[in-house]
Amino acid sequence: MTARGLEGVVAGTTQLSSIIDGVLTYRGINIDDLAEHASYEEVVHLLFFGRLPTRAELDDLRRQLSALRPLPEGLMTLLRTVPRDAVPMDTLRTAVSALGFYEEHPNDTSREVSVEKALRLVAQVPTIVAALERLRRGQEPVPPPEGTDTAHAFLLMLKGTAPDEVEVDAMNKILVLHADHEFNASTFAARVTAATLADMHAAVTAAVAALKGPLHGGANAAVMAALQEIGDLDGVEPYVLEKLARKERIMGFGHRVYKQGDPRAKWLREMSRRLAERSGEPKWYEMSVRMDEVMQREKGLFPNVDFYAATVYHYLGIPKDLMTPVFATSRISGWTAHILEQYGDNRLIRPRADYTGPTSQAWVPIDQRG
């Protein structure tokens, strides 16, 4: 039997992340433990090398990523030529592809060279996202700071001012929670591309393209747009009920795999609450909680990772159309880890299809076709 959207189909094996009985793990470590204790750099090491780093290894990885963050001058020139009204995900897709021009061994898929490429991408994608946002605002990009973690460096490059501890903690948790998620659409696109032995930048470009879609990474922006359309707390329940009556989809709820709730959502809800308290603008968090309550009551649907992520991003000063590129600043670690895994034990991914079109049709000469 054919499964639409490959729902429930096991398409391969991985040692990177698992979703079993509603529990998400990276390399066997529960996401709750990682969200509470881990830095993003520890998660990168875990995904790439199969274990948590020692203190010395972590310090070395931080130094490597810090040194790799600056972009090639040619790529900065490219970013400066992008129209200011360009869709940020389109700019990111083009920039990731263009980064491949600057690789010394672009088509080498060996483990050693591929790890070097992966680390460069993990370091440089946040720099690209911050730079493209500042350029489209008419501001100069902020050079990557030295000696800081990814969360701090990204917010500094984005805003131009040093973030505080609460903002850095929120950004770090976003990076940890979004780093990997088994065979999601963008990761599978990356693995399918890597399985042809295309270069790493080609595979990541395919992943970015898949992430752009509103049914995948684009859902967070749709959630924030809905909250802004509603406008205030009293408007939430009528909005939801009207949408449900018209059988329209409400973004940020339900998940193909998680039937009893996304384990990442509770961490994002708490981050949204903390940021709301200090923002002087708590209504976005309060509206989210009300919508969550109504959706559970009316449909039995729980929020997924995108729902509370929307308000977290908003409180961090990230505009709606930059939310999905910021998602990519985290997921780049998972994409590249999956590409490394695919290269290491490769077989071309070539599924079959059930043909549902007409059969036994006769050829008709062109002058006899009506």
pLDDT digits (tens, 9 = 90+) for 80-137: 999 999 999 999 999 999 999 999 999 999 999 999 999 999 999 999 999 999 999 9
pTM above 0.85, yes or no: yes
Q: Are 47 and 180 in contact (CB under 8 A)?
A: yes
> 191-200: string of b/e by CB count within 10 Å (b at 16+)?
bbbbbeebbb
Direct distance between the N- and C-terminal alpha carbons of the chain, in angstroms, rounded to an integer: 37
pLDDT at 167: 96
Residues in the chain: 370
- The span from the CA of 124 to the CA of 102, in Å, is 12
pLDDT tens for residues 155-211? 999 999 999 999 999 999 999 999 999 999 999 999 999 999 999 999 999 999 999
Residue found under tokens 């059930």: 354
Does residue 70 register a pLDDT over 90?
Answer: yes
Residue 185's CB is within 10 A of a number of other CB atoms, namely 18
Catalytically annotated residue among 152, 262, 306, 338: 306
- The span from the CA of 140 to the CA of 135, in Å, is 6
Burial class (CB in 10 A: 0-12, 13-18, 19+), 232: exposed
Catalytically annotated residue among 178, 181, 255, 338: 255
Residues in CB range of 212: below 8 A, 6 or more apart: 89, 90, 93, 218, 324
> 51-77: string of b/e by CB count within 10 Å (b at 16+)?
ebbeeeebeebbeebbebbebeeebbe
> 30: which strand partners?
25
- Sheet of strand 17-20: strand arrangement: 17-20, 23-26, 29-30
Q: In which region does residue 5 sit, left (phi positive, over 0), alpha (psi from -120 to 50) or beta (all else)?
A: left
Annotation marks residue 255 as catalytic: yes
Q: Residue 283 — very low, low, confident or very high, per pLDDT cuts 50/70/90?
A: very high
Q: Which has more confidence, 258 or 131?
A: 131
Q: Residue 215 — very low, low, confident or very high, per pLDDT cuts 50/70/90?
A: confident
- Tell me the C-alpha to C-alpha distance, in Å, between residue 113 and each of 95, 122, 199, 329, 340: 20, 14, 11, 21, 10
- Tell me the C-alpha to C-alpha distance, in Å, between residue 141 and each of 71, 148, 282, 326: 11, 17, 30, 16
- Average pLDDT over the chain, rounded to an integer: 95
Residue found under tokens 């290491």: 344
Domains of the chain: 17-210+323-344 (1.10.580.10), 219-315 (1.10.230.10)
pLDDT above 70 covers what percent of the chain? 100
Q: How far is CA 101 from the centre of its chain?
A: 24
pLDDT at 1: 65
Annotation marks residue 164 as catalytic: no
